[in-house]
Amino acid sequence: MRVVVDLNRCQGYAQCCYAAPAHFELRGHEILFYDPAPPEAARGRIERAQQACPVRAISVEGIDLAEEDAP
């Protein structure tokens, strides 16, 4: 699945890291490192991370869209 975080918007609150620790990680004081291509099996946790983000910085491709328009 495909994920992108708007890092202008991200405030390093780390809620995503609690929801999906294998795919979102805070480094140093406030650098967010995340997996832009987590396995489909992690979708539940990734979507919880998305919901948990207080500034709605996380975008996730819907399961219905995966490959929908793929060239």
Partner 1 sequence: MSGRAGIVIVGASLAGLRGAEALRRGGYEGPLTLVGDEPYRPYDRPPLSKHVLAGELAADATALPQLLPLRARWRLGSPATGLDRNAKIVRLADGSSLAYDTLLVATGARARRWPGEAEFAGIFTIRGRDEAADLRAALARDPRSVLIVGGGLIGCEAASCCRDLGLPVTLVDPNPTPLARALGTLVGGTLAARMRAAGVDLRPGTQVRALEGEAGQVCRARLADGGSIAADLVIVALGAVRDTGWLSEGGLAADAGGLTCDGACRALTRMGVPDPNIFAAGDVARWPNPLYGGRLIAVEHWGNAVEQAAHAARNMLNPADPQPYAHLPAFWSSQFGLNIKMVGLADGADSVAIVQGSRAAGRFLAVYGREGRTIAAVSFDEARWLPAYAERIAAGAAFPPIHDATDQPAIETRPPGFPPPRPFPASRGRVPEAAHA
Q: Could you tell me which residues are beta bridge partners of residue 26?
A: 32
The piece of 8-16, 36-44, 60-68 that touches ligand SF4 (CB under 6 A) is 8-16
Task: Determine the size of the site formed for ligand SF4 (CB under 6 A).
Answer: 15
Place of tokens 């869209």: 65
DSSP classification of residue 45: H
Q: C-beta of 41: minimal distance to ligand SF4 in Å?
A: 21
Interaction mask 11-30, ligand SF4, x per CB under 6 A: xxxxxx-------x------
* Spatial distance between the Cα atoms of 70 and 61, rounded to a whole number of angstroms: 12
